Structure 1
Amino acid sequence: MHECHVVCGAPAAGKSTYSRSLAQRLGACLLDSDTLAGRLVTAGMTLAGLDPDDRDSPEYKRAYRLPVYEALFDVARANLSHAPVVICGPFTSEWQREAWPEELRTRLGTDPELHFVWCDEDLRRRRMRERGEARDRQKLADWESFRTGSREDRPVWPHRFIDTGEEDQSCNSR
Protein backbone atom coordinates (compact mmCIF):
# COMPACT_ATOMS: atom_id res chain seq x y z
CA MET A 1 0.00 0.00 0.00
CA HIS A 2 1.14 3.49 -0.80
CA GLU A 3 0.99 6.39 1.62
CA CYS A 4 -2.29 8.17 2.29
CA HIS A 5 -2.74 11.71 3.57
CA VAL A 6 -6.08 13.03 4.86
CA VAL A 7 -6.46 16.82 4.88
CA CYS A 8 -9.25 18.42 6.92
CA GLY A 9 -10.26 21.85 8.16
CA ALA A 10 -12.97 24.50 8.14
CA PRO A 11 -14.41 25.99 4.93
CA ALA A 12 -11.96 28.39 3.23
CA ALA A 13 -9.10 27.44 5.56
CA GLY A 14 -7.02 26.48 2.51
CA LYS A 15 -7.59 22.71 2.37
CA SER A 16 -7.84 22.46 -1.42
CA THR A 17 -4.82 24.67 -2.07
CA TYR A 18 -2.72 22.79 0.47
CA SER A 19 -3.94 19.40 -0.81
CA ARG A 20 -3.08 20.25 -4.43
CA SER A 21 0.41 21.28 -3.38
CA LEU A 22 0.88 18.16 -1.25
CA ALA A 23 -0.39 15.84 -4.01
CA GLN A 24 1.89 17.47 -6.56
CA ARG A 25 4.90 17.18 -4.24
CA LEU A 26 4.16 13.49 -3.57
CA GLY A 27 3.06 12.57 -7.09
CA ALA A 28 -0.21 11.49 -5.48
CA CYS A 29 -3.79 11.08 -6.63
CA LEU A 30 -5.86 13.99 -5.25
CA LEU A 31 -9.39 13.22 -4.06
CA ASP A 32 -11.18 16.43 -3.07
CA SER A 33 -14.75 16.10 -1.76
CA ASP A 34 -15.91 19.17 -3.72
CA THR A 35 -14.47 17.92 -7.00
CA LEU A 36 -15.43 14.28 -6.52
CA ALA A 37 -19.08 14.82 -5.60
CA GLY A 38 -19.94 18.48 -6.23
CA ARG A 39 -21.87 18.03 -9.46
CA LEU A 40 -23.77 14.99 -8.16
CA VAL A 41 -24.73 16.77 -4.95
CA THR A 42 -25.90 19.82 -6.90
CA ALA A 43 -28.03 17.64 -9.19
CA GLY A 44 -29.54 15.74 -6.27
CA MET A 45 -30.32 18.87 -4.28
CA THR A 46 -31.99 20.38 -7.35
CA LEU A 47 -34.09 17.26 -7.96
CA ALA A 48 -35.15 17.30 -4.31
CA GLY A 49 -36.32 20.91 -4.66
CA LEU A 50 -33.60 22.17 -2.32
CA ASP A 51 -30.97 24.86 -2.73
CA PRO A 52 -28.41 23.27 -5.09
CA ASP A 53 -25.59 25.24 -3.46
CA ASP A 54 -26.42 24.24 0.11
CA ARG A 55 -23.68 22.32 1.90
CA ASP A 56 -24.59 23.16 5.50
CA SER A 57 -28.26 22.37 6.17
CA PRO A 58 -29.50 19.32 8.06
CA GLU A 59 -31.08 18.11 4.79
CA TYR A 60 -27.74 18.20 2.97
CA LYS A 61 -25.92 16.53 5.84
CA ARG A 62 -28.56 13.81 6.21
CA ALA A 63 -28.61 12.98 2.48
CA TYR A 64 -25.03 13.60 1.33
CA ARG A 65 -22.38 13.96 4.03
CA LEU A 66 -21.78 10.28 4.69
CA PRO A 67 -22.13 9.10 1.05
CA VAL A 68 -19.67 11.77 -0.15
CA TYR A 69 -17.10 10.73 2.46
CA GLU A 70 -17.69 7.03 1.78
CA ALA A 71 -17.11 7.65 -1.95
CA LEU A 72 -13.83 9.44 -1.12
CA PHE A 73 -12.65 6.49 0.95
CA ASP A 74 -13.77 3.93 -1.64
CA VAL A 75 -11.88 5.69 -4.44
CA ALA A 76 -8.86 6.18 -2.17
CA ARG A 77 -8.72 2.50 -1.26
CA ALA A 78 -9.03 1.54 -4.95
CA ASN A 79 -6.01 3.73 -5.77
CA LEU A 80 -3.76 3.08 -2.78
CA SER A 81 -2.53 -0.23 -4.16
CA HIS A 82 -0.73 1.57 -7.00
CA ALA A 83 -0.36 5.26 -6.04
CA PRO A 84 -0.12 7.57 -3.05
CA VAL A 85 -3.39 9.39 -2.28
CA VAL A 86 -4.34 12.75 -0.74
CA ILE A 87 -7.94 12.96 0.51
CA CYS A 88 -9.35 16.45 1.07
CA GLY A 89 -12.57 17.27 2.93
CA PRO A 90 -13.82 19.18 5.97
CA PHE A 91 -14.36 16.11 8.22
CA THR A 92 -15.42 18.52 10.99
CA SER A 93 -17.46 15.99 13.00
CA GLU A 94 -14.50 13.63 13.01
CA TRP A 95 -12.24 16.16 14.79
CA GLN A 96 -13.49 15.08 18.20
CA ARG A 97 -13.62 11.32 17.55
CA GLU A 98 -10.49 9.83 19.08
CA ALA A 99 -11.06 6.55 17.23
CA TRP A 100 -11.23 8.16 13.77
CA PRO A 101 -7.56 7.51 12.83
CA GLU A 102 -8.04 3.80 13.63
CA GLU A 103 -11.32 3.74 11.68
CA LEU A 104 -9.48 5.24 8.69
CA ARG A 105 -6.64 2.74 9.04
CA THR A 106 -9.14 -0.12 8.94
CA ARG A 107 -11.14 1.39 6.08
CA LEU A 108 -8.16 2.35 3.91
CA GLY A 109 -5.87 -0.56 4.69
CA THR A 110 -3.01 1.78 5.56
CA ASP A 111 -2.01 4.18 8.31
CA PRO A 112 -2.97 7.67 7.02
CA GLU A 113 -1.10 10.83 7.91
CA LEU A 114 -3.60 13.41 9.13
CA HIS A 115 -3.27 17.11 8.32
CA PHE A 116 -5.34 19.88 9.91
CA VAL A 117 -5.47 23.10 7.86
CA TRP A 118 -6.25 26.30 9.73
CA CYS A 119 -6.35 30.08 9.38
CA ASP A 120 -8.12 32.77 11.40
CA GLU A 121 -11.78 33.47 10.73
CA ASP A 122 -11.23 36.93 9.19
CA LEU A 123 -9.00 35.41 6.53
CA ARG A 124 -11.50 32.59 5.92
CA ARG A 125 -14.26 35.16 5.40
CA ARG A 126 -12.10 37.14 2.99
CA ARG A 127 -11.23 33.99 1.05
CA MET A 128 -14.91 33.09 0.75
CA ARG A 129 -15.70 36.53 -0.64
CA GLU A 130 -12.78 36.40 -3.08
CA ARG A 131 -13.48 32.93 -4.44
CA GLY A 132 -17.10 33.84 -5.16
CA GLU A 133 -18.46 30.28 -4.85
CA ALA A 134 -22.22 29.82 -4.71
CA ARG A 135 -21.78 27.37 -1.80
CA ASP A 136 -20.48 30.27 0.32
CA ARG A 137 -23.36 32.73 -0.27
CA GLN A 138 -25.43 31.61 2.72
CA LYS A 139 -22.40 31.54 5.00
CA LEU A 140 -21.46 35.09 4.04
CA ALA A 141 -25.07 36.34 4.20
CA ASP A 142 -25.33 35.26 7.84
CA TRP A 143 -21.68 35.24 8.86
CA GLU A 144 -22.36 35.52 12.58
CA SER A 145 -24.49 32.36 12.62
CA PHE A 146 -22.00 30.53 10.44
CA ARG A 147 -19.06 31.70 12.55
CA THR A 148 -20.62 30.70 15.86
CA GLY A 149 -21.56 27.28 14.47
CA SER A 150 -18.11 26.62 12.98
CA ARG A 151 -15.44 24.55 14.64
CA GLU A 152 -12.21 26.32 15.53
CA ASP A 153 -10.77 23.70 17.86
CA ARG A 154 -8.01 21.37 16.77
CA PRO A 155 -8.61 17.65 16.32
CA VAL A 156 -8.10 15.43 19.35
CA TRP A 157 -5.91 12.98 17.42
CA PRO A 158 -2.27 13.49 16.38
CA HIS A 159 -2.00 15.58 13.21
CA ARG A 160 0.20 17.87 11.22
CA PHE A 161 -0.98 21.45 11.88
CA ILE A 162 -0.93 23.61 8.75
CA ASP A 163 -1.34 27.37 9.20
CA THR A 164 -2.34 28.84 5.83
CA GLY A 165 -2.56 32.35 7.21
CA GLU A 166 1.01 33.27 6.41
CA GLU A 167 1.41 36.02 3.81
CA ASP A 168 3.59 33.88 1.55
CA GLN A 169 0.88 31.17 1.44
CA SER A 170 3.56 28.54 1.93
CA CYS A 171 1.29 26.52 4.25
CA ASN A 172 3.62 26.42 7.22
CA SER A 173 3.56 23.22 9.18
CA ARG A 174 3.74 23.05 12.99
Structure 2
Amino acid sequence: MPRLIFFCGHAGTGKTTLAHRLIGPLMAATGEPFCLLDKDTLYGRYSAAAMRAITGDPNDRDSPAYLDNLRDPEYEGLLDTARENLALGISVIVIGPLSREIRAHQLNDPQWLHVPAGTTVSILWVHLPEDEAHARIIQRGNPNDAYKLAHWDAYRTRRFQPDAADYPELIFFDNRAPDDAQIDGLLRTLAA
Protein backbone atom coordinates (compact mmCIF):
# COMPACT_ATOMS: atom_id res chain seq x y z
CA MET A 1 0.00 0.00 0.00
CA PRO A 2 1.15 3.56 -0.62
CA ARG A 3 2.67 5.95 1.88
CA LEU A 4 1.53 9.42 2.84
CA ILE A 5 4.34 11.49 4.34
CA PHE A 6 3.62 14.95 5.69
CA PHE A 7 6.44 17.52 5.91
CA CYS A 8 4.96 20.01 8.36
CA GLY A 9 6.27 22.94 10.36
CA HIS A 10 6.16 26.69 10.51
CA ALA A 11 7.41 29.07 7.83
CA GLY A 12 11.15 29.20 7.35
CA THR A 13 11.93 25.81 8.88
CA GLY A 14 13.10 24.25 5.60
CA LYS A 15 10.27 21.77 5.01
CA THR A 16 10.34 22.14 1.24
CA THR A 17 14.12 21.98 0.93
CA LEU A 18 14.19 18.87 3.12
CA ALA A 19 11.40 17.18 1.12
CA HIS A 20 13.19 17.94 -2.16
CA ARG A 21 16.40 16.50 -0.71
CA LEU A 22 14.70 13.29 0.44
CA ILE A 23 12.22 12.42 -2.33
CA GLY A 24 14.79 10.78 -4.62
CA PRO A 25 16.43 8.78 -1.84
CA LEU A 26 12.96 7.77 -0.56
CA MET A 27 11.99 6.43 -3.97
CA ALA A 28 15.29 4.55 -4.18
CA ALA A 29 14.98 3.16 -0.64
CA THR A 30 11.34 2.04 -0.97
CA GLY A 31 11.20 1.20 -4.68
CA GLU A 32 7.95 3.20 -4.83
CA PRO A 33 6.93 6.15 -6.99
CA PHE A 34 6.21 9.34 -5.03
CA CYS A 35 4.22 12.42 -5.92
CA LEU A 36 5.30 15.67 -4.24
CA LEU A 37 2.46 18.06 -3.35
CA ASP A 38 3.59 21.44 -2.05
CA LYS A 39 0.74 23.72 -0.97
CA ASP A 40 2.57 26.81 -2.18
CA THR A 41 3.19 25.33 -5.63
CA LEU A 42 -0.36 24.02 -6.02
CA TYR A 43 -2.15 27.13 -4.81
CA GLY A 44 0.34 30.00 -5.01
CA ARG A 45 -0.88 31.53 -8.26
CA TYR A 46 -4.53 30.99 -7.37
CA SER A 47 -4.07 32.52 -3.93
CA ALA A 48 -2.27 35.52 -5.43
CA ALA A 49 -5.19 36.20 -7.77
CA ALA A 50 -7.78 35.68 -5.04
CA MET A 51 -5.98 37.85 -2.50
CA ARG A 52 -5.50 40.58 -5.11
CA ALA A 53 -9.29 40.56 -5.52
CA ILE A 54 -10.03 40.38 -1.78
CA THR A 55 -7.40 42.68 -0.27
CA GLY A 56 -5.55 44.23 -3.20
CA ASP A 57 -2.34 42.46 -2.10
CA PRO A 58 -1.43 39.37 -4.14
CA ASN A 59 1.32 38.48 -1.66
CA ASP A 60 -0.95 38.37 1.38
CA ARG A 61 -0.77 34.81 2.75
CA ASP A 62 -1.27 35.41 6.44
CA SER A 63 -3.85 38.12 7.10
CA PRO A 64 -7.24 37.36 8.66
CA ALA A 65 -8.76 37.73 5.16
CA TYR A 66 -6.52 34.93 3.85
CA LEU A 67 -6.94 32.74 6.91
CA ASP A 68 -10.74 33.14 6.87
CA ASN A 69 -11.28 32.68 3.12
CA LEU A 70 -8.53 30.60 1.52
CA ARG A 71 -6.52 28.68 4.09
CA ASP A 72 -8.93 25.79 4.70
CA PRO A 73 -10.01 25.31 1.06
CA GLU A 74 -6.34 25.18 0.03
CA TYR A 75 -5.64 22.43 2.55
CA GLU A 76 -8.79 20.55 1.59
CA GLY A 77 -7.72 20.62 -2.08
CA LEU A 78 -4.20 19.57 -1.13
CA LEU A 79 -5.50 16.56 0.78
CA ASP A 80 -8.02 15.70 -1.96
CA THR A 81 -5.14 15.61 -4.46
CA ALA A 82 -3.12 13.42 -2.10
CA ARG A 83 -6.06 11.03 -1.68
CA GLU A 84 -6.50 10.74 -5.44
CA ASN A 85 -2.84 9.77 -5.90
CA LEU A 86 -2.98 7.32 -2.98
CA ALA A 87 -6.07 5.65 -4.48
CA LEU A 88 -3.99 5.12 -7.64
CA GLY A 89 -1.25 3.43 -5.59
CA ILE A 90 1.15 6.38 -5.73
CA SER A 91 2.85 7.40 -2.51
CA VAL A 92 2.64 11.09 -1.65
CA ILE A 93 4.72 13.70 0.12
CA VAL A 94 2.61 16.64 1.29
CA ILE A 95 4.38 19.88 2.22
CA GLY A 96 2.58 22.54 4.24
CA PRO A 97 2.51 24.02 7.72
CA LEU A 98 -0.72 22.19 8.69
CA SER A 99 -0.27 23.54 12.21
CA ARG A 100 -4.00 23.62 13.04
CA GLU A 101 -4.35 20.02 11.92
CA ILE A 102 -1.26 19.00 13.89
CA ARG A 103 -2.53 20.75 17.01
CA ALA A 104 -5.86 18.88 16.70
CA HIS A 105 -4.16 15.49 16.03
CA GLN A 106 -6.11 15.22 12.77
CA LEU A 107 -3.35 13.95 10.50
CA ASN A 108 -3.24 10.62 12.32
CA ASP A 109 -7.03 10.31 12.61
CA PRO A 110 -8.15 7.86 9.89
CA GLN A 111 -11.75 9.09 10.01
CA TRP A 112 -10.67 12.69 9.45
CA LEU A 113 -7.93 11.89 6.94
CA HIS A 114 -10.03 9.57 4.70
CA VAL A 115 -7.09 7.92 2.96
CA PRO A 116 -7.36 4.47 1.38
CA ALA A 117 -7.21 1.57 3.82
CA GLY A 118 -3.68 0.34 4.38
CA THR A 119 -2.02 3.67 3.64
CA THR A 120 1.05 4.18 5.83
CA VAL A 121 0.99 7.69 7.29
CA SER A 122 4.09 9.46 8.63
CA ILE A 123 4.03 12.99 10.00
CA LEU A 124 7.31 14.85 10.11
CA TRP A 125 7.48 18.05 12.19
CA VAL A 126 10.38 20.15 10.89
CA HIS A 127 11.39 22.78 13.42
CA LEU A 128 13.83 25.57 14.18
CA PRO A 129 14.10 28.13 16.95
CA GLU A 130 11.90 31.13 16.16
CA ASP A 131 14.81 33.53 15.69
CA GLU A 132 16.46 31.27 13.12
CA ALA A 133 13.21 30.70 11.22
CA HIS A 134 12.64 34.48 11.23
CA ALA A 135 16.15 35.08 9.85
CA ARG A 136 15.65 32.45 7.12
CA ILE A 137 12.34 34.03 6.10
CA ILE A 138 14.04 37.41 5.76
CA GLN A 139 16.96 35.87 3.85
CA ARG A 140 14.82 34.06 1.29
CA GLY A 141 13.08 37.32 0.33
CA ASN A 142 9.80 35.72 -0.78
CA PRO A 143 7.13 38.41 -1.32
CA ASN A 144 4.54 36.02 0.16
CA ASP A 145 6.23 36.48 3.53
CA ALA A 146 5.80 40.27 3.58
CA TYR A 147 2.55 40.26 5.58
CA LYS A 148 3.95 37.73 8.04
CA LEU A 149 7.11 39.76 8.58
CA ALA A 150 5.23 43.05 8.92
CA HIS A 151 2.94 41.45 11.52
CA TRP A 152 5.45 39.11 13.17
CA ASP A 153 4.09 39.57 16.70
CA ALA A 154 0.64 38.43 15.55
CA TYR A 155 2.08 35.58 13.47
CA ARG A 156 4.26 34.30 16.28
CA THR A 157 1.20 33.80 18.52
CA ARG A 158 0.17 31.00 16.12
CA ARG A 159 3.58 29.33 16.22
CA PHE A 160 3.81 26.43 18.60
CA GLN A 161 6.28 23.68 19.23
CA PRO A 162 4.47 20.40 19.83
CA ASP A 163 5.79 18.42 22.76
CA ALA A 164 6.78 14.83 21.97
CA ALA A 165 4.86 13.55 24.99
CA ASP A 166 1.64 15.16 23.73
CA TYR A 167 2.21 14.39 20.04
CA PRO A 168 3.61 10.84 19.86
CA GLU A 169 2.43 10.56 16.25
CA LEU A 170 5.03 13.09 15.11
CA ILE A 171 8.58 12.49 13.92
CA PHE A 172 10.54 15.53 15.11
CA PHE A 173 13.41 16.88 13.04
CA ASP A 174 15.58 19.80 14.13
CA ASN A 175 16.62 21.39 10.85
CA ARG A 176 19.25 23.84 12.12
CA ALA A 177 22.24 22.17 10.48
CA PRO A 178 21.60 18.47 10.00
CA ASP A 179 24.63 16.39 9.08
CA ASP A 180 24.57 13.46 6.67
CA ALA A 181 24.06 10.97 9.50
CA GLN A 182 20.93 12.80 10.69
CA ILE A 183 19.56 12.97 7.15
CA ASP A 184 20.27 9.27 6.66
CA GLY A 185 18.56 8.46 9.96
CA LEU A 186 15.49 10.44 8.92
CA LEU A 187 15.46 8.67 5.55
CA ARG A 188 15.56 5.28 7.26
CA THR A 189 12.70 6.30 9.57
CA LEU A 190 10.52 7.51 6.71
CA ALA A 191 11.30 4.51 4.51
CA ALA A 192 10.66 1.91 7.25
TM-score (norm 1): 0.87
Query: Structure 2, unaligned stretches of length 5 or more?
Result: 28-33
SS of residue matched to 1:112? strand
Select the structure of larger CA radius of gyration: 2
- Residues 7 and 113 (structure 1 numbering): CA distance in 2 closer, same or farther, change over 3 Å? same
In 1, the alpha carbon distance for the partners of 2:112 and 2:138 equals 36
- Residues 104 and 57 (structure 1 numbering): CA distance in 2 closer, same or farther, change over 3 Å? farther
Contact 2:124 2:172 in 1 (8 A): yes
SS of residue matched to 2:173? strand
Alignment deviations for residues 145-166 of structure 1 (CA, whole Å, 9 cap, x no partner) = 3334422334734111111112
Q: Count matched residues.
A: 174
Shift of 1:24: 2.2
Of 102, 108, 111, the residue aligned with 1:95 is 102
Q: Which residue of 2 aligns with 1:60?
A: 66
Amino acid at match of 2:43: A
Q: Say whether residues 1:131 and 2:140 are aligned partners.
A: yes
Contact 1:31 1:76 in 2 (8 A): yes
Q: Say whether residues 1:158 and 2:169 are aligned partners.
A: yes
In 1, the alpha carbon distance for the partners of 2:141 and 2:111 equals 33
- Residues 54 and 33 (structure 1 numbering): CA distance in 2 closer, same or farther, change over 3 Å? same
- Two-structure CA RMSD over aligned residues (Å): 2.4
Contact 2:51 2:58 in 1 (8 A): yes
Overall identity of the aligned pairs, in %: 33
In 1, the alpha carbon distance for the partners of 2:11 and 2:149 equals 12
Alignment deviations for residues 8-56 of structure 1 (CA, whole Å, 9 cap, x no partner) = 1011111111121232222321100000101001011112244211111
- Residues 104 and 34 (structure 1 numbering): CA distance in 2 closer, same or farther, change over 3 Å? farther
In 2, the alpha carbon distance for the partners of 1:76 and 1:22 equals 18
- Residues 100 and 86 (structure 1 numbering): CA distance in 2 closer, same or farther, change over 3 Å? closer
Shift of 1:105: 7.0
- Residues 104 and 164 (structure 1 numbering): CA distance in 2 closer, same or farther, change over 3 Å? farther
Amino acid at match of 1:85: V
Q: Say whether residues 1:146 and 2:155 are aligned partners.
A: yes
